[in-house]
Amino acid sequence: MSAHSASPEITFHADHSGGTKKIWRTFWLLSVITVIELAIGLAIYNIHKGEAPNHTLVLMFKGVVCILTLAKAYYIVSIFMHLGDEIRNMIMTIVVPLCLFIWFIIAFLWDGNSWKNLRNTDAGSREYKTEQVAKPAAIEKGAKD
């Protein structure tokens, strides 16, 4: 019996006769990606603990974790939420608006970074220095962001 027998809007009914193999495969894939992420997280922890941490390496690891997270998001949306099984119109109406995030993330992180630079140079009037650490604790407590 078709699962959508009561929905006249649907022109073509999906074939749900397949098994659960794909679901379990996705589960293992997500688990493996998560374990890799955790391993990278611990690697970052150990790099930070050591003498003279290599910041480029940490940044690279963080980038890898971001990419792995996007892969996880893809599998959850495509397989678990069945978006990959929908027709192209449906996929596009969801995915195209989400492209706004590309601008959203770049613009605002850029803004945050520029904010830091302005503060560290007093809006360009002195040399770049991070004096937050040297400030007495009382002033820092009052500095709210």
Which residues, numbered 78-107, are part of the site for other proteins (CB under 8 A)? 79-82, 85-87, 89-90, 93-94, 97-98, 100-101, 104-105
Site string for other proteins, 54-73 (x = CB under 8 A): --------x--xx--x--xx
Kindly state the smallest distance separating residue 50's Cβ from other proteins, in Å.
13
Provide the minimum distance between the beta carbon of 33 and other proteins in the complex, in angstroms, as a whole number: 10
Binding flag, residue 145, other proteins (CB under 8 A): yes
CA angle 93, 97, 98 (to 5 degrees): 115
Measured from the CB atom, the residue of 57 and 98 that comes closer to other proteins is 98
Size of the site for other proteins (CB under 8 A): 76
Radius of gyration of the chain (CA): 24
> Quick check: 87 and 80 in contact, CB under 8 A?
no
- Whole-angstrom distance, CA of residue 134 vs CA of residue 127: 16
For helices 88-98 and 100-120, give the axis angle rounded to 10 degrees: 10
Could you give the angle at which helices 21-49 and 55-75 cross, rounded to 10 degrees?
Answer: 160
The smaller minimum CB distance to other proteins, of residues 97 and 124, is found at 97
